[in-house]
A and B are shown apart, each in its own frame.
Chain A
Amino acid sequence: MGREKEKQNPSEKALNLLRTRLSNPNFIFKPLSDSPDSNYSKLKFIISSSVTEACNNSILLLGPRGSGKVAVLELVLGDLLQQYPEVISVIRLNGLLHSDDNCALKEIAQQLCVEHQLLFSKVASFDDNSQFMIAMLRECGLAHKTIIFVLNEFDYFAQGKQRLLYSLLDAMQSVTSQAVVIGVSCRLDVDQLLEKRVRSRFSHRKLLFLPPSKEDTERFMEHILSLPVDSSLPHNYTVEFNARLKKILSDERFKELINTYLSFNSTIGHLVRFLFQAVSYLDLDVGFLSLENFKTALSSMQRQPKLECIRDCSILELYLLVCMKRLEVKEQNSYNFNSVMTEYKSIHDSFQTSDYYARNVCLRAFEHLLQHQLISFADNRGHNQSVEFRPVKLLISLAELHQGLKSYRLCPMFYLDLIKIGFWILPLVQACKLHKIPAFDSFLVCYVNYYCCGASFLPLKMVKVAFSRQLS
């Protein structure tokens, strides 16, 4: 038991270490900021040169959410506060809270008072606050202290009359004040939102925070997930852990997984969330990360609620969904319960299936589907009509239905065949429309109907070939 405990402890410690790292924005953004070309260096250069040269500056940080704008800014400010301890004071405003001018000036006055240990009076008026701010700017200018204004959610400050922005930027035009205004926003066109007076006073420096390239991402993942060799963890455990990690990271399947994950959101914040999930799936008995952890994390992050709904449906409900899909494929876009029942009956007649349920059972299944929100009523008016006559529409797409059926535990294969029609028929019909072959169009619809109600399962390939021959 002692050995088991020893074996568990390093993996627990490792897990805690990794999780702490992934929750600490400083640690995450430091490796990406090391090169002199990075946004960290550029931002630091601009702010420190404003501080040392006593000139005013303004800058915008732009980029999608989760790309590290505020994290890098905090890194820079932290470093500068250490470097010049008495010279910098930071005022932080947020557009979601302080977009109103009165509120913003009050907040500025309050933060200035706290910084310089003055008493703040809550009943000070707008005039008093603005005069206080201008006086403070002048005093700090004479004392060679720089005030850094950080405006988060900058686009909210650009609403309304933009008086706060104007007064801040105008104060920076005079020689007596020494301030830096840093705006952080995720809108790329935020300087088009500014009034032309404010835009003219704003120096057009923008720092763009773009998502990192593929190589940078790989290097970043390796850096973050490798355990440090000189920590309190046993040495051979750390070496083994890092070796296995390297093997996983260079595996093709892992690369594909990461590419799929990042193909719709490639910011660092998104990636870190995924890594956190994967690390949390670490099996404490094994003690090392494996590819399975990442796969489980991916599937848990890409949840599809509608698919889970489908998995909970009964066979009859699935049957009804398939019927509705076939009706849609046959270009019958508005259908109600009665037409679905007709289709149901026709399938039963043509394919001689074993299960045929009574109408009221089907109605119950239909109402279940309504409750699950897999289908819904197509109009908002007919509350007086009964459920059977109101038009309904499907709320899931063909792909989702197909995937749901495939992953259903007991789905009869026959349903899949029924559904397969949809995959290629619909584009074919659309292609017909595109090429304006009306005669063939109607022929195709008849053919489809015939096939659906007819007997033999013609292989799809033959029909495709016939169609393409017709087309050429």
Chain B
Amino acid sequence: MPAIADRNSSPFKEMVATRSGDIARFNGCCTPQKRSLRSNAAAAKESPVSTPMKLKSPRRRLNSNPNSPANGIKGDFNEKPMKKNWNPKDFEQMRAVKEALHVSTAPSTVVCRQYEQKRVLEFCKVCVAQEKAGSLYVCGCPGTGKSLSMEKVKQQVIEWATMEGLQSPEVLAMNCTSLANTSDIFSKILGKHQPKKKLTGSTSPSQHLQNLYSSKQSLSGSKMMLIIADELDYLITKDRAVLHDLFMLTTFPFSKCILLGIANSIDLADRFLPRLQSLNCKPMVVTFRAYSKDQILSILQERLSVLPYIVFQQQALELCARKVAAASGDMRKALCVCRSAAEIHEAELRECASNLSLTSVEGEFISQQTAPALEIFQSQENNTVRIDHMALALSKAFRSPIVDTIQSLPQHQQIILCSAVKFFRGGKKDTTVGELNKSYIDICKSSLIPPVGILEFLSILRVLNDQGLFKLGQSRDDKSKRVTLKVDEADISFALQGVRFFRNCLQ
């Protein structure tokens, strides 16, 4: 199996490679190349990761694509250059696209969350300016940009404080899943306040903190502390003590902490912190709603705008945004689907290229020279990722593998599924193995298929239980184990509708 990079390299690249000296692209080993990019990114900290790409690609575009010198010149004249279609066979461009769409790439500006960010920022500014403690609770579904926004707010608060000449607060950002014990959070806060002091054994960390915050002279003159606690619901214990104490820390008279808690459930504050209501210090709640279709679209476009070429057709992006917004509004899923659509497109082009190179009579070099030219002729417009690629990627991401699996099951397993569907139609929800066996034998008899014995029947049930299609209960006697169907009846009917026998059976 040839290395991936070899397929995508064209003779034109070899010319460029000799020009940009230290980048070696042969042998399918790309690590030296990566190293140069990473160190560039590390050096230029303010600009986003994709900037080095931006500098290199226009130059390379002119060199590698013989049809495009006109476009390059045109770009110099306009204010907003008309974006070219990308060349998916260019390994560098593919990499850049995937990186732009990767979940871990933090975009430079966070669109669509300005209102929420402003609210949190204002709250923090007030607290820092007045040296007052306060608590805020951020909630929302996964993938709605909460942690990302908090990162930005953190940076913005520090910048603002330095600009205003105030003492910029200390920051403690942590994820509560990494705590072995829920009460370790207090020792961490204490560690930040008094890094050199060791704790004596008598008082617990939370008690110590409370003492600290109750007396005026212990922490006078020290900075405010901004605590960002991610995945707050891991701190919920049976007696809810830890969470409660944490929020109570902000109520003490000389407290110095600004608490930002992040979690998924909207009513965490109401359900688990009822006593705060009486003290009139309930945390402010900022809800991050799930993204709507327009928001997802604008975020995707923002991410793709750092690339100097058009990758996706507009309709494809709209389809993706619509589908993801309707399903969950989760941004990670949208990014994932777009990446997978780009990969499908790449795979399709690779297959075309391999077919072309197989059909060429001459040697490999010559075919590589003629093939790209031919393809440039045929598919200049087809380089973008189209709607059908996006549709395929969406169906892969959203469809459950159940229908495919049922269609590829061996015959007797399908008959058993059918007999279960028929049996449970009457309204019963579970039955015993013995009853199911009888129903199965009846169906087999009616179609003159010899039924399998009870031992094989049990082993088939166990296999289907492993796959998650049935649920088999426990019992001493094999025949009285309880069986429930876990798949929807409609799925099974849909999967088996192609076979006449099952159609008749299930009608």
| Chain B residues within an 8 Å CB radius of A399 | 441, 451
Which of B31, B180, B351 is A36 in contact with, Cβ under 8 Å? B351
Which of A44, A65, A204, A305 is B463 in contact with, Cβ under 8 Å? A65
Please tell me if A95 contacts chain B, counting CB pairs below 8 Å.
no
The residue on B at minimum CB distance from A58 is: B336
What total of chain B residues lie within 8 Å of the partner, measured CB to CB? 70
Interface string of B77-118 (1 = CB under 8 A from A): 000000000000000000100110011111000000000000
Interface hits, A238-276 → B, CB 8 Å: 262-266
Which of A163, A173, A262 is B103 in contact with, Cβ under 8 Å? A173
Interface string of A66-83 (1 = CB under 8 A from B): 000000000000010001
Please tell me if A115 contacts chain B, counting CB pairs below 8 Å.
no
| Chain A residues within an 8 Å CB radius of B354 | 36
CB pair A400–B34 under 8 Å, yes or no, is no
A170 to B105, CA, bound (A): 13
CB distance from B87 to the nearest CB of A (A): 17
The residue on A at minimum CB distance from B453 is: A304
CB distance from A208 to the nearest CB of B (A): 5
Please tell me if A62 contacts chain B, counting CB pairs below 8 Å.
yes
CB pair B467–A64 under 8 Å, yes or no, is yes
Chain A CB count within 10 A is highest, among B5, B180, B231, for B180
Interface string of B137-158 (1 = CB under 8 A from A): 0000111000000000000000
CB pair A53–B99 under 8 Å, yes or no, is yes
CB pair A200–B332 under 8 Å, yes or no, is yes
The residue on A at minimum CB distance from B446 is: A427
CB pair A197–B405 under 8 Å, yes or no, is no
| Chain A residues within an 8 Å CB radius of B103 | 173, 201
CB pair B469–A188 under 8 Å, yes or no, is yes
CB pair A49–B4 under 8 Å, yes or no, is yes
A385 to B469, CA, bound (A): 44
What total of chain A residues lie within 8 Å of the partner, measured CB to CB? 63
CB pair A166–B177 under 8 Å, yes or no, is yes
Given A175-B104, A188-B400, A210-B405, verify A196-B264 contact (CB < 8 Å): yes
| Chain A residues within an 8 Å CB radius of B178 | 127, 130, 167
Given A125-B180, A197-B264, A263-B410, verify A174-B104 contact (CB < 8 Å): yes
| Chain A residues within an 8 Å CB radius of B451 | 399
A56 to B180, CA, bound (A): 26
Interface hits, A354-402 → B, CB 8 Å: 397, 399-400
CB pair B404–A203 under 8 Å, yes or no, is no
The residue on A at minimum CB distance from B35 is: A144
Please tell me if B43 contacts chain A, counting CB pairs below 8 Å.
no
Interface string of A313-341 (1 = CB under 8 A from B): 00000000000000000000000000000
Given A126-B180, A204-B397, verify A197-B3 contact (CB < 8 Å): no
CB pair B412–A427 under 8 Å, yes or no, is no
CB distance from A464 to the nearest CB of B (A): 15
The residue on B at minimum CB distance from A199 is: B142
CB distance from B243 to the nearest CB of A (A): 16
A397 to B441, CA, bound (A): 10
Interface-side segment among B196-204, B382-390, B454-462: B454-462
Please tell me if A180 contacts chain B, counting CB pairs below 8 Å.
no
The residue on A at minimum CB distance from B397 is: A204
CB pair B453–A188 under 8 Å, yes or no, is no
Given A36-B351, A144-B34, verify A127-B453 contact (CB < 8 Å): no
CB pair B455–A304 under 8 Å, yes or no, is yes
Interface string of B1-20 (1 = CB under 8 A from A): 10111000000000000000
Which of B99, B333, B410 is A211 in contact with, Cβ under 8 Å? B410
A126 to B34, CA, bound (A): 34
| Chain B residues within an 8 Å CB radius of A44 | 1
CB pair B405–A208 under 8 Å, yes or no, is yes
The residue on A at minimum CB distance from B37 is: A54
| Chain B residues within an 8 Å CB radius of A262 | 410
Which of A54, A79, A265, A304 is B460 in contact with, Cβ under 8 Å? A265
A223 to B354, CA, bound (A): 26
Interface hits, B425-484 → A, CB 8 Å: 441, 445, 451-456, 459-460, 463, 466-469
Interface string of B29-65 (1 = CB under 8 A from A): 1110011001000000000010000000000000000
Please tell me if A219 contacts chain B, counting CB pairs below 8 Å.
no
| Chain B residues within an 8 Å CB radius of A127 | 178, 180, 184
Which of A41, A189, A199 is B400 in contact with, Cβ under 8 Å? A189
CB pair B180–A208 under 8 Å, yes or no, is no
Please tell me if B419 contacts chain A, counting CB pairs below 8 Å.
no
Please tell me if B175 contacts chain A, counting CB pairs below 8 Å.
yes
CB pair B177–A400 under 8 Å, yes or no, is no
Please tell me if B411 contacts chain A, counting CB pairs below 8 Å.
yes
A200 to B35, CA, bound (A): 30
| Chain B residues within an 8 Å CB radius of A89 | none
A56 to B177, CA, bound (A): 21
The residue on B at minimum CB distance from A79 is: B1
A225 to B452, CA, bound (A): 28
Please tell me if A282 contacts chain B, counting CB pairs below 8 Å.
no
CB pair B1–A170 under 8 Å, yes or no, is no
A45 to B8, CA, bound (A): 13
Interface string of B177-216 (1 = CB under 8 A from A): 1101000100000000000000000000000000000000
Which of B343, B412, B467 is A188 in contact with, Cβ under 8 Å? B467
CB distance from B144 to the nearest CB of A (A): 9
CB distance from A6 to the nearest CB of B (A): 42
CB distance from A160 to the nearest CB of B (A): 12
A400 to B453, CA, bound (A): 8
CB distance from A217 to the nearest CB of B (A): 11
11 contacts between A and B (CB under 8 A): A45-B347, A53-B30, A54-B38, A163-B234, A190-B468, A197-B231, A197-B264, A210-B408, A211-B410, A264-B456, A265-B460
* With A54-B34, A83-B3, A200-B143 already in contact, 7 other A-B pairs whose C-beta atoms are closer than 8 Å: A127-B180, A163-B234, A197-B142, A204-B333, A264-B460, A266-B409, A306-B454
Which 9 residue pairs are nearest across A and B when measured between Cβ atoms? A200-B142, A264-B412, A266-B410, A187-B468, A210-B408, A126-B180, A204-B397, A263-B411, A200-B143
